[in-house]
Amino acid sequence: MTQSRIDATQTRPPLWRNVTFLKWATQIGVLVGLVVLAWILISTALRNLEAQGLSLDWDFLTDPVGIRLGEGIFTQPASGLEAFATAIVNMLRVTASGIIAATILGVLVGISRLSSNWLLSRSATAFVETIRNIPLLIQIVFWFFLMTLFFPTLEVDASGPAPGWLIVSRKGVSIPWLFPTEVFWQWFVFVAGGAWAARRVYRRRIELLEETGRETHPGRWALGTFVLIAGLGWFAHPIAGALGWLFALVAAVIAAIPDFAFQLLFAAVSIWLGARWIRRFLDSRRTPAGLARLTDDDYFRMGLAGVLGLAGAAVFVAIPQITSLITDVAHFVFAFLDQKFDFLRTGVPLRLGRPEVVVPGRFPQIGDTGMTMTPNFFGLWVGVTLYTAAFIAEIVRGGILAVPKGQTEAGMALGLKRSQVLRMIILPQAFRIILPPMGNQYLNLAKNTSLGIAIAYAELVQVGQTLFNQTGDTIQVFLIWMAFYLTVSLVLSSIVNWYNRRVKLVER
């Protein structure tokens, strides 16, 4: 009796009841389904495009275009590529400056809402409630019109244009600015080196402080080191021009090596990456006693990693264009860097530009000698900054409130001052709670910059629309839009996730 029951558990169940088989079948089924679905969608789209006489060519990227952009690195782009490059730089400018400004403002407002000062906390509440309850589009248009309608008109006096220090007008706000010259990058080598050395010195002084307990002024030492090296570089930068030879050498080597060698190299790297992933995965599953039991899921993931590595290698070997694109870009980058460096090329790394009014035609304009904030940039930047700051303020407030009250009490009971408790105990913990939702707000800000089209700010959506109105290449532009916003979002979120993992609390 007992014997037969043991037998029963040891016989394998039929395939349709076998968990292992079912899991594998589902995983592979889903994978095949996805591939088939993608293939159907893409082939249908291509067939229909062909039937309507539309083609998916990318010539518009290199062909000359007849558009003018409001602002940016190329205001009269020679090609679609230059137009997109300008639009992308403009978008990133708003995004980066918006993220910095919204973070600072949001944190201040968020802390203010918790203040015991009645006026301060009520003002902060009013700010949050007003800003987050008005649609962003309306706010952007509002700030744009605020500048274009209510700022003073741009005028030149009878003596003609002269450089000034500050221009505030309906056509923009312009301030003096330090612009990089052709030797800037040679100097920048010293600036970066100085920052690195300052970091080292700072850590060393901190170690010394902890060892001896004497005040070692780490901050002052670090600043001194940085200023010394950067200041030295201001005069010594022609030496760094020698780096140009290095970049030229790399560019020449890339050009000299035949493409099929790179193809094989990339294929090998692809296989190596797959193998490394599998090895690390196995390491992470290993227990001190040896290899832990792997689940079917684990086998599937390792199998998939292996297949992807091999598939990547196959793609590199089968399609040489991919490799030549990569080597072309690498060659371009190093050749570009080579131009920026020239041994013993002298000059001043930064040049002061003062804003001025020019009169190219009938009406005065702000010249490009200063740093100018156009009404379009102003409207979009202020709009997304305030809007995001309102949400960040709520996140910060929630994060601080989420730290248990006992933490403050424990700190106070040890005799720490209130400011020390806030700085060393509350904020580090609140920060960990705040970080993930903060990342979401950064993503929202980046995507919301596409509303710039409403006030003709030359960002990606506005420029893309102008382009496909001219060329009719709607689908390509849509693909570029999606690819770009996806890339920006993925980069932002992987930065936030990476940082989040780094600061996560250690628990069992």
Could you list the residues that contact other proteins (CB under 8 A)? 210-213, 404, 406-407, 409-417, 420, 424-425, 428-429, 432, 505-508
- Distant-in-sequence, close-in-space partners of 271: CB < 8 Å, separation ≥ 6: 309, 310, 312, 313
Nearest CB to other proteins, comparing residues 421 and 455: 421
In this complex, which beta carbon is closest to other proteins, that of residue 109 or of residue 434?
Answer: 434
From the CB of 8, what's the least distance to other proteins, in Å?
41
Nearer to other proteins, 424 or 486 (CB): 424
User: Six-digit token pair at 24?
Assistant: 């594998």
Cα 336 from Cα 214, distance rounded (Å): 49
Instruction: Name the minimum Å distance from CB 212 to other proteins.
Output: 7
Task: State the minimum distance, in angstroms, from the CB of residue 420 to other proteins.
Answer: 6
Compute the least distance from the CB of residue 45 to other proteins, in Å. 51
DSSP character at residue 422: I
Q: Which of 54, 94, 60 is nearest to 79 (CA)?
A: 60
Q: Which is nearer to other proteins, 22 or 414 (CB)?
A: 414
* Closest approach of other proteins to the CB of residue 501, in Å: 15
Q: How far is the CB of 412 from other proteins (least distance, A)?
A: 7
Amino acid at position 243, single letter: L
Nearer to other proteins, 255 or 424 (CB): 424
- For the record, the structure tokens of 158 come out as 């009878």
- Measured from the CB atom, is 157 or 507 closer to other proteins? 507
344: alpha, beta or left? (left if phi > 0; alpha if psi -120 to 50): left
Residue holding tokens 């509002």? 142
Nearest to other proteins of 350, 416 (CB atom): 416
* Helix 427-448 with 80-113: angle, nearest 10 deg: 140
206 versus 310: smaller Cβ distance to other proteins? 206
Nearer to other proteins, 149 or 505 (CB): 505
Least separation in angstroms between residue 438's CB and other proteins is 17
Least separation in angstroms between residue 406's CB and other proteins is 4
Residue 156 burial (CB count, 10 A): 14
DSSP 40-108: HHHHHHHHHHHHTT-----GGGTSB-----SSSS-SS-SBHHHHHHHHHHHHHHHHHHHHHHHHHHHHH
Q: Which two tokens stand for residue 92?
A: 């990133």
Task: Give min distance, CB of 417 to other proteins, in A.
Answer: 7
Q: How far apart are CA 119 and CA 126, in angstroms?
A: 10
Smallest CA-to-CA distance from 255 within 310, 320, 194, 335 is with 335
Query: Over 427-488, what HEC string results?
Result: HHHHHHHHHHHHHHHHHHHHHHHHHHHHHCCCCHHHHHHHHHHHHCCHHHHHHHHHHHHHHH
